[in-house]
Structure 1
């Protein structure tokens, strides 16, 4: 195995780059702005394919963190209704980052600590840590407990593995949700046909939304939201929270982006427990771009859960931690 890790300075920021020499795959990460995986190139159909979407040069002066690359959403993904929730007798008011709601947590534009890097049995790797306490050093009561999120990217061959660990380092319970908001390009090749693509998501249910906030009701997917047999990117417009996920024998949910012209596909897989929701979103800035977002909870879970709705909110006791995995790879089809 021939792999390595290197750094480059771009616009005064340090970019970490993982390389696999044999496959020529690469992954570029910006720790100083959300530990964002803003560029991923994997081999498919005889060529190296850029799969993750960010504007050229974005890493030199990054902004709009939820619209580029592979944003990390912690301690909550998506919205908290009106930025308000109560927890164990305390009321919390969050910045309205997408008025009238708070959205996507605090980690996606934070300066993360690089904790480890190198070459190991699973390839070139980079590890980083985000601490909740660092976001609000003035002690503002923005979240019930302190904790941290560790991420580790490892690149080997045509596969990138992301391991995440959340830990509670406080005296009280830590409620949290974790999500990722990656933007992928389909078709993979320049000049590819949108009509010769397929998006496959093994979800049988969808949350009913009222102006982006779940009502608490879950229904079987409509025809427009049923991706189990695949849907073309041609004319696709969607913004939905899907659930009822089917997993394989290894306990992984696998979503597939298929480029029929190339005879190749990209797969993103993740642990069925705790990743129990997927947001699927087609942004307005590109017909060939789709976000497939694994979440541990639905939108506004911290409020829904306290209404008696099983919304997926994770709760860690003092000293507890839990880990989960996401894989990304290309394959022939």
Structure 2
């Protein structure tokens, strides 16, 4: 059963049975997110992006994950299961998910949503039930490239940001381990008034925290921020673009492990703020 939060003319729809993803974020009748069972905005845990060949090590132990994006594993397991609602009121909601196979460790993921008239605050925590393990967490929102609404279709979205570095991407779509100068930090991709796919499926580092702005000219500006310093920008599809704040880079279970322990859970917060233009 879906959960709906409202604040002013903002409406958030959460689908706990479909990976506790955001099924919709409507502002004054305009839907910001791509619709569909696979889209909206889903949580990524206990890893983000691709894990090379689905394999990762924890000390001497080697683990194999299902290859759901052959030859790699992608985006964690929590988006595939049903979550339990812990609490909800008009503007806030909290949900939990117990980690199960194919993830090899026992633990729990908690996700909370707090909706205001111009802001959505997302929080996620990953905790262990005993044994420590490496983990990542983040979100994968699909923003419509063109907005429909009471005023008709918008111009295509523009993506603006300034990054400290870019994780060099190999032919296998995994970071090579090299940090390079970022590619141009803003662009508007369109042809004869119709949106076309771009070229980004890349991870960028922002030492001061994630800060990315999406602009639909004369309609909306949306700012995505997080204290964490990694974000994946994806715009290879025609219908939508993705801005994915996360606690580490793709393949980070192997290259940038962050241990979750009984006294040190993993916590991440992100904010989506909007204003009309």
Aligned position for 1:220? 181
Deviation of the 1:294 alpha carbon: 0.9
Root mean square deviation of aligned Cα: 1.9
Count of residue pairs the alignment pairs up: 268
1:116 is matched with 87
Q: 1:52-95 CA distances to partner (integer Å, 9 max, x unpaired)?
A: 1113xx4xxxxxx3xx1111111111111111122222221111
The CA deviation at 1:155 is 1.2
Select between 71-80 and 237-246 the one with higher mean Cα deviation.
237-246
8 Å contact kept, 2:207–2:229: no
User: Which is further off, 322-331 or 33-42?
Assistant: 322-331
Q: Residue 12 of structure 2 aligns with which residue?
A: 27
CA contact (8 A) 1:154 1:160 kept: yes
Cα contact 1:199–1:233 (8 A) shared by 2: no
Contact 2:158 2:189 in 1 (8 A): yes
Per-residue CA distance 1:97-146 (angstroms, 9 max, x = gap): 11111111110111111111114xxxx111101111xx32xxx6x43x32
Where do residues 252-267 of structure 1 align in structure 2 (5 Å cutoff)? 252-262=209-219, 264-267=220-223
Question: Which protein is bigger by CA-based radius of gyration?
Answer: 1
Question: Counterpart in 2 of 1:126?
Answer: 93
Tell me the alpha carbon deviations over residues 220-254 of structure 1, each in whole angstroms, 9 at most, x when there is no partner.
11xxx221xx211324512333333153xxxx532
Residue 237 of structure 1 pairs with residue 231 of structure 2: no
Pairing partner for 2:3 from 7, 13, 16: 16
Give the match's secondary structure for 2:70: coil
Question: Structure 2: how far apart are the matches of 1:326 and 1:76?
Answer: 16
Superposed CA offset, 1:273-318 (max 9, x none)? xx221111114342xx2111112111111222xxxxxx3x321223
**Deviation at residue 261 of structure 1 after TM alignment:** 2.8
Q: The residue matched to 1:188 in structure 2 has which SS? A: coil
1:188-203 to 2 correspondence within 5 Å?
Answer: 188-189=147-148, 190-194=152-156, 197-203=157-163
Return the TM-score normalized by structure 2: 0.89
Q: For the residues of structure 2 that align with 1:253 and 1:207, how far apart are their CA atoms?
A: 15
1:203-218 equivalences under 5 Å are 203-210=163-170, 211-218=172-179
| Alpha-carbon distance between aligned partners in 2 of 1:187 and 1:254, rounded to the nearest angstrom | 21
Query: d(CA) in 2 for partners of 1:267 and 1:40?
Result: 14
One of 34, 46, 50 as aligned partner of 2:31: 50
In structure 1, what is the equivalent of residue 60 of structure 2? 89
Q: Hey, which of these two has a bigger chunk of helix by percent?
A: 1
Unmatched runs of 5 consecutive residues or more in structure 2: 191-195
Give distance in 2, aligned partners of 1:285 and 1:258: 17
Q: Does structure 2 conserve the Cα–Cα contact (< 8 Å) formed by 1:75 and 1:176?
A: yes
